[in-house]
């Protein structure tokens, strides 16, 4: 290397290349992200990877007798590859907002700006005011070097405005992901209008992409967790409704038999009729409380409910029903109406 500036540029391109490989590896290996987002980030990091490789090859070729056409081709390839994420960000923003990509005015505007950039980029081959290349394959900025950058910066600003206008359609983390992906790159490009910071463009692209990926991944994992919690709550509600239906199905027959038994005992054995009325009242009270309970209850509470039910049944069937309680372990919880329907 001829100077510390060239060494710094080469190191910066190498760091960007390594970060691109890491981002691509994360996208392929780590689960938890939807198929569309996975394809987007894979394409995103592959574009960065190719851009970094072309940058490194172009720097290396400066020290060898490479045909001028190859060197110019690499310069054009670098610029085109670094502009592609602009379109990809716009498409991904529209996808996250559920908009039709093909009919979006935002995407059409960005496409027009990108086409203008591509046309200006091609014109640099013929107009030295944009950029000129020395016989030893060193390139220098011309007086109009800033002009091709303007449509790219305007397109990035359109993406920023589009993100701000759609912030209510995005979750907080996804919104921050797009802001992180857009702002650093835009600032770097604006600085590049006045100072040559081309190596930093690669790094800012890749770092922003990694940050964006981490936010999107975190958001989707959180959404999956909320979805799982919602499913669990729905399953609990279904189980509770089934228990309620079960109680309602058995209650009319049981209530009818109990009332008929009380009616008969009022004449034959008034004292026993009073006792069965008290047991029946106790059972109904506990039954209504159990139906209204959504959380788990102590086993002892469920056992008392079952005792009240069996007391009513024993009063009806007398010696025909013998109950033996063998419950040495009662220090645990269970859903309401778990034991009594079984009995």
Task: Classify residue 92 by its DSSP letter.
Answer: H
Question: pLDDT of 145-195, one tens digit each?
Answer: 888 889 999 999 999 999 999 999 988 888 888 898 888 888 888 888 888
pLDDT above 70 as % of the chain: 83
Cα separation, 264 vs 261, in Å, equals 5
Question: pLDDT of 331-342, one tens digit each?
Answer: 878 777 676 666
Q: Do 337 and 297 contact (CB within 8 A), yes or no? A: no
Nearest to 71 by CA among 133, 143, 7, 131: 133
Cα separation, 185 vs 166, in Å, equals 20
Instruction: Give the long-range contacts of residues 157-161, CB within 8 A, separation 24 or more.
Output: 157/186, 158/106, 158/109, 158/110, 158/113, 159/86, 159/89, 159/90, 159/93, 159/106, 159/110, 160/186
Q: Whole-structure pTM over 0.85, yes or no? A: no
**CATH class for the domain made up of 4-229:** mainly alpha
Cα separation, 148 vs 54, in Å, equals 20
Nearest to 37 by CA among 51, 27, 46: 27
Domain ranges of the chain: 4-229, 269-335
Nearest to 75 by CA among 101, 98, 95, 57: 57
Q: Which residues of 94-130 are buried (b: 16+ CB within 10 A; e: fewer)?
A: bebbebeeeebebbebbeebbebbbebbeebeeeeeb
Cα separation, 159 vs 113, in Å, equals 12
Model confidence at 7, pLDDT cuts 50, 70, 90, reads: low
Q: How many residues does the chain have?
A: 343
Q: Do 308 and 279 contact (CB within 8 A), yes or no? A: yes
Question: pLDDT of 253-268, one tens digit each?
Answer: 667 777 777 777 787 7
Q: Which two tokens mark 260? A: 């008929």
How far does CA 230 lie from the centroid of its chain? 16
With 0-12 / 13-18 / 19 or more C-beta atoms within 10 angstroms meaning exposed / middle / buried, residue 28 is exposed
Give the distance between the most distant pair of CA atoms in the chain: 123
Question: pLDDT of 41-72, one tens digit each?
Answer: 888 888 888 888 887 887 777 777 777 777 77
Cα separation, 121 vs 79, in Å, equals 8
Q: Do 91 and 84 contact (CB within 8 A), yes or no? A: no
Res 1 pLDDT > 50: no
Task: Classify residue 296 by its DSSP letter.
Answer: E
- Please state at what angle helix 68-96 crosses helix 35-61, rounded to 10 degrees: 160
Q: Which two tokens mark 296? A: 């788990």
Q: Give every CB contact of residue 227 below 8 A, 6+ residues apart in sequence.
A: none
Which of 33-47, 236-250, 295-309 is predicted least confidently? 236-250
- Please state at what angle helix 270-292 crosses helix 299-317, rounded to 10 degrees: 150
DSSP calls for 177-202: HHHHHHHHHHHHHHHHTTS--HHHHH
Cα separation, 89 vs 55, in Å, equals 22
Res 238 pLDDT > 90: no
């Amino acid at each position: 290397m001829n100077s510390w500036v060239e060494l710094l540029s080469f190191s910066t391109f190498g760091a960007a290349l390594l970060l691109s490989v890491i981002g691509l590896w994360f996208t392929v290996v780590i689960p938890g992200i939807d198929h569309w987002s996975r394809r987007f980030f894979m394409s995103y990091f592959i574009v960065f990877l190719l851009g970094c490789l072309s940058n490194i090859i172009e720097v290396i070729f400066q020290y060898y007798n490479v045909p001028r056409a190859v060197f110019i081709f690499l310069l054009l390839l670098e610029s085109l590859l670094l502009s592609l994420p602009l379109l990809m960000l716009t498409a991904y923003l529209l996808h996250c907002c559920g908009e039709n990509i093909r009919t979006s005015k935002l995407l059409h505007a960005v496409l027009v700006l990108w086409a203008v950039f591509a046309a200006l980029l091609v014109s640099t081959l013929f107009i030295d005011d944009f950029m000129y290349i020395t016989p030893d394959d060193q390139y220098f900025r011309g007086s109009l070097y800033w002009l091709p950058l303007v449509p790219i910066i305007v397109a990035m600003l359109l993406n920023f405005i589009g993100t701000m206008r759609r912030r209510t359609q995005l979750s907080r983390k996804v919104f921050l992901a797009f802001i992180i992906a857009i702002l650093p790159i835009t600032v770097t490009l604006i600085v590049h209008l006045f100072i040559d910071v081309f190596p930093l463009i690669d790094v800012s692209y890749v770092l922003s992409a990694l940050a964006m990926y981490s936010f999107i991944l975190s958001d989707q994992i959180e959404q999956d967790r909320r979805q799982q919690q919602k499913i669990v709550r729905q399953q609990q509600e279904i189980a509770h409704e089934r228990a309620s239906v079960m109680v309602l199905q058995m209650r009319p027959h049981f209530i009818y038999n109990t009332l008929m038994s009380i009616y008969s005992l009022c004449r034959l054995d008034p004292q026993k009729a009073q006792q069965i009325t008290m047991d029946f009242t106790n059972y109904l009270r506990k039954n209504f409380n159990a139906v209204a309970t959504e959380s788990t209850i102590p086993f002892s509470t469920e056992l008392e409910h079952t005792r009240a039910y069996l007391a009513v049944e024993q009063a009806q069937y007398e010696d025909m029903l013998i109950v033996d309680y063998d419950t040495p372990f009662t220090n645990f919880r269970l859903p309401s109406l778990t034991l009594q329907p079984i009995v």
